Amino acid sequence: MTEPMLSRLQHLMTVREEVESLGELPRSPGTDWPAADWVDEGTHLSLFLDVPGVEPERLEMQDDGETLTLAGERPELPGNLIYQERRSGPFARTLNFPEPVVPGSGQAQLSAGVLRVRFEKLHPTIDAVVSSER
């Protein structure tokens, strides 16, 4: 094996290790909360966010069709907190839309601590897979 090839392989291995370690590192607080899921519904995109214990009037959302920012605050627990894992206080998270949506089309719904926001896609997907069903 020639030296440049070995060097390139070593570089690739390093890059791979770095990429793998990204998945292992805890994400910094503030960027990974609330946790998010995206569901593609053909003509719409639905975003699901876990915001347990956050009152609806403490939630704020802004979107420009490309990114969406959710901000809010979860109240601190009153009393003598002796062990804490749950996040409290203000939070903000900016998410990229998986594909362009109609700006301002989001319809929000909060239920059992889950916020669902449904957006109209700018380019609705036509489902061409139906014909392959048996």
Q: Which residues bind a second copy (CB under 8 A)?
A: 24-26, 32, 35-41, 46, 48, 50-55, 77-87, 98, 111-114
CA distances to 1, 13, 19 from 7, rounded to whole Å, are: 10, 10, 18
CB of 42 to a second copy, least distance (A): 8
CB of 62 to a second copy, least distance (A): 20
Nearer to a second copy, 1 or 112 (CB): 112
CB of 110 to a second copy, least distance (A): 8
Instruction: Tell me which H or E stretch contains 71.
Output: strand 67-74
User: What's the rounded Cα separation, in Å, for the pair 61 and 79?
Assistant: 30
Nearer to a second copy, 54 or 117 (CB): 54
Structure tokens at 119: 């957006």
Nearer to a second copy, 10 or 100 (CB): 100
Which 8-state DSSP code applies to residue 93? E
User: What's the rounded Cα separation, in Å, for the pair 68 and 32?
Assistant: 14
Nearer to a second copy, 12 or 60 (CB): 60
- Please name the residue that has the structure tokens 């362009």: 100
Which 8-state DSSP code applies to residue 56? G
CB of 34 to a second copy, least distance (A): 9
